[in-house]
Every structure is written in C-alpha cells, then in structure tokens.
Amino acid sequence: MLKIIAVLIIFLSSSFIGYYYGETFNKRSKQLKEILKAILFLNNEVIYANTPLPEALNYISHKVEDPIKSSLSGVSSRLSNNEVESVYSAFKKEYKNSSQDYFLKSEDEVIIKDFFKGLGETGVYGQDKIFNLTIENLKINCSTAEELAKKNSKMYRILGMCLGAMISIFFI
C-alpha cells in the first residue's frame, strides 16, 4: 500500500512540475497582451486626450492586471512626486522591484525599455511614432508567444506526465 502511494505521489508531482513549467509560456503570452493593451490605452490618453503622463499612467494602471498594474502605478507615483528624472528611470526602478513577477524574455524587455526611454522626450509626432513602433513590435512578439505557448505548454504537460509514468513504472 505504501509503495502505491509513493508511486502515485511521484506521478502527480512530476505531472504538476510539467504543468507548471508549461504554464510559464501561457503567462508570458498573457502578460504581453496586457502590456500591449496598456500601451494602446496610453497612446489614446497621451496623443489624443493630451493627458499628462503621470495621470495617464495612473488611469491606465486601473485598467490592466498585475504585475503591470503595480508597475504603472509605481511609475506614476514616482513621476508625480518628482522622485526621478525621467520616465525610463522610474520604470527601471519599478521593473527591478517586481521583475520576479514577469515572465518576459529579453527581447520583450528591450522593446518595453526602448519605449519608456523615448516616452515623454519628444513632441506629439515623435510620441506617435514611438507608440506605433512599439505596438507593432509587441504584436509580433504576442503572436510568436501565442504559438510557443500552444506548442510548448502542451509538450511540457505531456512530458511531465510521461516522465512521472516512467519513474512510476520503474518503482513498480
């Protein structure tokens, strides 16, 4: 009886590890979609509504989910309180504080960092070009992240189950 329980625990834990690792791909895709949504909202607020950047970031932080929500509200509060010199430095500090909550790849981080480097530094036409470039790059990354999530999440789930079954068979 103890042997069966041990085999069952090994199988379930291996399956859970495969499922958990496969979910990281889905979380990256979901976070990229939330970032794209936030940038689209920010584009509307800054370009069309002429809302000041700290207020726009605070307003948008209420429309997106965590961890993007907490990062944007932190950037907004740092800008409102004049704690930083630029939007990029505020974002850099906030991202560093919550980087463990993000499942982004380095290419995603580069796009977002480049966006915040240029945000608030140019006129309306320059801002529009920065928004358009970032939106297009994020759309490309979103589509590749979705494809990877479909392939890899299923693969790691099945791989975890197969590995658990293989180890269980060896113990039986």
Q: What is the pLDDT of residue 153?
A: 85
pLDDT, tens digit (0-9, with 9 covering 90-100), for 4-60 = 888 888 888 888 988 888 888 888 889 899 999 999 998 888 888 887 888 888 889
Q: What is the pLDDT of residue 5?
A: 87
* 118 found inside a domain: yes
* 21 found inside a domain: no
pTM for the whole thing? 0.82
Neighbouring residues of 111: CB distance < 8 A, sequence distance ≥ 6: 134, 137, 138, 141
Distances from the Cα of 125 to the Cαs of 18, 46, 130, in angstroms?
A: 47, 11, 9
Inter-residue long-range contacts of 164-170, CB under 8 Å, 24+ positions, other chains counted: 164/10, 164/11, 164/12, 164/13, 164/14, 164/15, 164/18, 165/11, 167/10, 167/11, 167/14, 168/7, 168/8, 168/10, 168/11
Q: How many domains does the structure of the chain reveal?
A: 1
* 72 found inside a domain: yes
* 17 found inside a domain: no
* 12 found inside a domain: no
Q: What's the one-letter identity of residue 120? A: G
Over the chain, what HEC string results? CHHHHHHHHHHHHHHHHHHHHHHHHHHHHHHHHHHHHHHHHHHHHHHHCCCCHHHHHHHHHCCCCCCHHHHHHHHHHHHHCCCCCCHHHHHHHHHHHCHHHCCCCHHHHHHHHHHHHHCCCCCHHHHHHHHHHHHHHHHHHHHHHHHHHHHHHHHHHHHHHHHHHHHHHHHC
**For the chain, what is the mean pLDDT?**
86
* 5 found inside a domain: no
* 94 found inside a domain: yes
Q: What is the pLDDT of residue 136?
A: 92
Distance, CA of 12 to CA of 168 (rounded, Å): 10
In this predicted structure, the answer to whether residue 123 has a pLDDT above a threshold of 80 is: no
Task: Tell me the pLDDT band of 144, cut-offs 50, 70 and 90.
Answer: very high
Task: Tell me the pLDDT band of 140, cut-offs 50, 70 and 90.
Answer: very high
Higher pLDDT, 79 or 34: 34
In this predicted structure, the answer to whether residue 66 has a pLDDT above a threshold of 80 is: yes
Domain that holds residue 43: 29-151
* 90 found inside a domain: yes
